[in-house]
């Protein structure tokens, strides 16, 4: 099973997947060999404790080390909101999260993990968030690559997704931005920095509502390095809690970050922020410029909303929304230009501060998806994690430009893929060398004809030379000969006919060994030709052509040649 996510939009049973799809009835463990989690976002791992502890699954769960570290933090946070704040019952408990995490097996990048006798998996770097991975799943010679979410353009703290030419049978790729080609990230970054810089220079305060993990770290690094470069002294704060814990892990998993951080962490770990300090509620009222990162990202509740209310009245201040906002949230309202907001308790808040929107998203755009498909060279592609209409466009493009069949199944739909199964056959060294000696030029990609005997024994296949096969099986060799009569119109004696045949063949088959034997017969390699005179008609002679089955090609050529008759000029 690939990923075990949840739907953020629902608060009832629909938020978790319906696992009875898999089982009908019976235990999940019997149906699943393993579960693979691509990264720690809740829409990819949110249902994990429910699935393993409440529905019941005891098999292994595979994820990368950073995912394993950060995932429980997020699950716990999510649980708290659902149970403690909203008071939901029938939800997984902290203990369940812990138990669930015990079933996790962590994998390294490019490490091939043998799940059981047949199934093996391998993780590739995917960008997106810390520890995000793409997985190659392989059984025998057939393989599937599942991308999870990935990003083909590097950002300030993560590198770009990369996969080798693994040529899977199927590539399952996300397609969030199936119809988008994005602008260069530099413009976005520059805009962002410029806006922040200008505001703090004016003495204003900047509020950046973020979700705790992922983009927040990128923006922090961006600001941190900028502050460092420009020697700025204005304080930057980050609202504490969840992030601090997660940040700790960001510091630890340096190999998963981008080139710059990896190269410089010996001197200084980029996640050890010099300019970014923990935020305290009281700081919001401090005079002077400052930059604050606060959760949550859509300004719908919590600290970010509190700060927003305090600062909204001053036109010197600024709020930067770094991501998408769901309809109905304060974030969405101010982004769509609303200047008077109705808060709880009939208060009306006038928004005088500047409102900016900056898109920092870590999904591959259409070009990136195509690039990844080009890198992996799959036989077919399956699009998931996107809107149907957009996927339609991408599907069409993939089929057109890459000439790869592409599928986009709806929920519950099954796709059946025909694959050409290749069966490995062992070949004896002697036979191989013999064949190699014959070949003159190396032609790697051309199929070559090879004579041998295929032995199937105890479900393994071997290709050996026929002599060896006979010996092994204890069989005697039988000779199979074809004989054929060719009628020739010739009035001369048999010997003369034979001689004529001999000289004719000698002139045509220059590179074969043609011999005239003393008993009057002619041989071409191992093919025997005898001339006989049938008693009834002295005008015709019958040529007896006989060849073994190995010489079938030459034999049939000879007969067709002889059937055309002998040239008259010779006589």
Partner 1 sequence: MAAHLKKRVYEEFTKVVQQQQEEIATKKLRLTKPSKSAALHIDLCKATSPADALQYLLQFARKPVEAESVEGVVRILLEHYYKENDPSVRLKIASLLGLLSKTTGFSPDCIMDDAINILQNEKSHQVLAQLLDTLLAIGTKLPENQAIQMRLVDVACQHLTDTSHGVRNKCLQLLGNLGSLEKSITKDAEGLATRDVQKIIGDYFSDQDPRVRTAAIKAMLQLHERGLKLHQTIYNQACKLLSDDYEQVRSAAVQLIWVVSQLYPESIVPIPSSNEEIRLVDDAFGKICHMVSDGSWVVRVQAAKLLGSMEQVSSHFLEQTLDKKLMSDLRRKRTAHERAKELYSSGEFSSGRKWGDDAPKEEVDTGAVNLIESGACGAFVHGLEDEMYEVRIAAVEALCMLAQSSPSFAEKCLDFLVDMFNDEIEEVRLQSIHTMRKISNNITLREDQLDTVLAVLEDSSRDIREALHELLCCTNVSTKEGIHLALVELLKNLTKYPTDRDSIWKCLKFLGSRHPTLVLPLVPELLSTHPFFDTAEPDMDDPAYIAVLVLIFNAAKTCPTMPALFSDHTFRHYAYLRDSLSHLVPALRLPGRKLVSSAVSPSIISQEDPSQQFLQQSLERVYTLQHLDPQGAQELLEFTIRDLQRLGELQSELAGVADFSATYLRCQLLLIKALQEKLWNVAAPLYLKQSDLASAAAKQIMEETYKMEFMYSGVENKQVVIIHHMRLQAKALQLIVTARTTRGLDPLFGMCEKFLQEVDFFQRYFITDLPHLQDSFVDKLLDLMPRLMTSKPAEVVKILQTTLRQSAFLHLPLPEQIHKASATIIEPAGESDNPLRFTSGLVVALDVDATLEHVQDPQNTVKIQVCRVLYPDGQAQLIHPKPADFRNPGPGRHRLITQVYLSHTAWTEPCQVEVRLLLSYNSSARIPKCPWMEGGEVSPQVETSIEGTIPFSKPVKVYIMPKPARR
Q: Of the candidates 185, 248, 352, 485, which one interacts with partner 1 according to CB under 8 A? A: 185
Residue 390 touches partner 1, criterion: CB under 8 A: yes
Q: Which is nearer to partner 1, 194 or 512 (CB)?
A: 194
* Contact residues for 301 (Cβ-Cβ < 8 A; gap 6+): none
* Helix locations, 448-568, DSSP H: 466-473, 494-508, 552-563
Of 2 and 216, the one with the shorter C-beta distance to partner 1 is 216
In angstroms, rounded to a whole number, what is the distance separating the alpha carbons of residues 422 and 138? Answer: 13
Tokens for 561, please give them.
Answer: 């040649």
Asked whether position 319 contacts partner 1 by CB under 8 A, the answer is no
Residue 216: φ, ψ to 5°: -55, -45
Residue 391, helix vs strand vs coil = helix
Nearest to partner 1 of 268, 512 (CB atom): 268
Residue 403 contacts partner 1 per CB under 8 A: no
Question: Residues near 86 by Cβ (< 8 Å), separated by ≥ 6?
Answer: 11
CB of 172 to partner 1, least distance (A): 19
357 touching partner 1, by CB under 8 A? yes
Q: Among residue numbers 196 through 225, which ones bind partner 1 (CB under 8 A)? A: 197, 225
d(CA 156, CA 314): 31
Q: Which is nearer to partner 1, 436 or 569 (CB)?
A: 436
In the three-class reduction of DSSP (H, G, I as helix; E, B as strand; rest coil), residue 218 is classed as helix
Q: How far apart are CA 242 and CA 215, in angstroms?
A: 14
Backbone angles phi, psi at 421, to 5 degrees: -80, 130
10 is an interface residue for partner 1 by CB under 8 A: no
341 binds partner 1 (CB under 8 A): no
Determine which residue in the list 128, 156, 215, 275 makes contact with partner 1, applying CB under 8 A.
156
**Subset of 415-454 contacting partner 1 (CB under 8 A):** 436, 440-445
Stretch that binds partner 1, among 9-17, 50-58, 391-399, 489-497 (CB under 8 A): 391-399
The active-site residue out of 174, 218, 224, 356 is 174
Between 185 and 489, CB nearer to partner 1:
185
Q: Are strands 522-524 and 348-350 parallel, antiparallel or unpaired?
A: unpaired
Q: How far is CA 66 from the centre of its chain?
A: 20
Which listed range, 289-297, 352-360, 521-529, 562-570, lies at the site for partner 1 (CB under 8 A)? 352-360
Tokens 């099986």 label which residue?
473
DSSP-assigned beta bridge partners for residue 356: 320
For the question of residue 435 being annotated catalytic, the response is no
Q: Three-state DSSP class for 462? A: strand
Shortest Å, Cβ 465 to partner 1: 19
Q: Shortest distance, CB of residue 190 to partner 1, whole angstroms?
A: 5
Residues 6+ positions from 243 with CB-CB distance below 8 Å: 212, 213, 216, 295
Q: Is residue 348 helix, strand or coil?
A: strand
Residues in contact with partner 1 by CB under 8 A are 153-154, 156, 159-160, 162-165, 179-191, 193-195, 197, 225, 228-231, 258-260, 321, 335-337, 354-357, 366-367, 370-371, 374-375, 390, 393, 396-397, 401-402, 436, 440-445
Catalytic machinery residues? 174
């Amino acid at each position: 099973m690939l990923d075990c996510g949840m739907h953020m939009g629902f608060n009832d049973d629909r938020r978790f997947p319906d696992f009875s799809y898999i089982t009908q009835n019976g235990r999940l463990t019997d149906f699943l060999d393993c579960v693979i989690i691509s990264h720690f976002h809740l829409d990819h791992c949110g249902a994990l404790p429910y699935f393993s502890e409440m529905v019941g699954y005891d098999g292994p769960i595979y994820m990368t080390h950073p995912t394993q570290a950060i995932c429980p933090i997020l699950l716990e946070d999510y649980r708290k909101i659902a149970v403690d704040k909203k008071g939901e019952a029938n939800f997984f408990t902290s203990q369940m999260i812990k138990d669930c995490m015990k079933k996790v097996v962590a994998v390294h990048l490019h490490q091939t993990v043998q799940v059981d006798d047949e199934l093996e998996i391998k993780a590739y770097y995917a960008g997106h968030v810390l520890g995000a991975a793409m997985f190659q799943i392989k059984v025998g010679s057939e393989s599937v690559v599942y991308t999870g979410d990935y990003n083909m353009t590097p950002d300030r703290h993560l590198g770009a997704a990369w996969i080798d030419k693994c040529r899977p049978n199927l590539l399952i790729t996300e397609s969030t931005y199936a119809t988008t080609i994005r602008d260069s990230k530099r413009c976005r970054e520059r805009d962002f920095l410029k806006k922040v810089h200008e505001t703090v220079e004016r003495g204003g305060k900047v509020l950046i509502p973020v979700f705790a993990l992922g983009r927040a770290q990128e923006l922090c690094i961006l600001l941190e390095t900028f502050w460092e470069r420009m020697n700025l002294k204005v304080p930057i704060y980050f609202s504490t809690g969840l992030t601090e814990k997660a940040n700790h892990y960001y510091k630890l998993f340096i190999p998963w970050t981008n080139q710059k951080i990896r190269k410089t962490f010996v001197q200084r770990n980029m996640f050890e922020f010099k300019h970014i300090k923990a935020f305290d509620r009281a700081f919001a009222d401090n005079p002077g410029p400052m930059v604050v990162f606060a959760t949550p990202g859509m300004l719908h509740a919590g600290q970010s909303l509190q700060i927003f209310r305090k600062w909204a009245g001053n036109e010197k201040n600024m709020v930067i929304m770094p991501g998408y906002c769901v309809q109905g949230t304060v974030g969405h309202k101010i982004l769509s230009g609303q200047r008077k907001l109705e808060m709880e308790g009939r208060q009306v808040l006038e928004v005088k501060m500047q409102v900016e929107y900056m898109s920092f998203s870590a999904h591959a755009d259409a070009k990136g998806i195509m690039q990844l498909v080009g890198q992996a060279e799959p036989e077919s592609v399956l699009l998931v994690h996107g809107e149907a209409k957009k996927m339609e466009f991408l599907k069409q493009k993939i089929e057109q430009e890459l000439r790869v069949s592409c599928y986009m199944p709806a929920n519950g739909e099954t796709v059946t893929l025909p694959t050409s199964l290749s069966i490995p056959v062992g070949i004896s060294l002697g036979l191989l060398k013999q064949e190699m000696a014959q070949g003159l030029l190396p032609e790697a990609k051309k199929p070559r004809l090879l004579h041998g005997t295929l032995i199937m024994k105890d479900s393994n296949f071997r290709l050996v030379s026929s002599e060896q096969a006979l010996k092994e099986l204890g069989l005697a060799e039988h000779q199979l000969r074809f004989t054929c009569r060719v009628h020739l119109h010739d009035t001369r004696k048999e010997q003369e006919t034979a001689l004529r045949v001999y000289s004719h063949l000698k002139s045509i088959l220059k590179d074969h060994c043609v011999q005239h034997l003393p008993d009057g017969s002619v041989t071409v390699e191992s093919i025997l030709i005898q001339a006989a005179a049938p008693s009834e008609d002295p005008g015709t002679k019958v040529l007896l052509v006989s060849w073994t089955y190995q010489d079938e090609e030459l034999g049939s050529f000879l007969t067709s040649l002889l059937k055309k008759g002998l040239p008259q000029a010779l006589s």
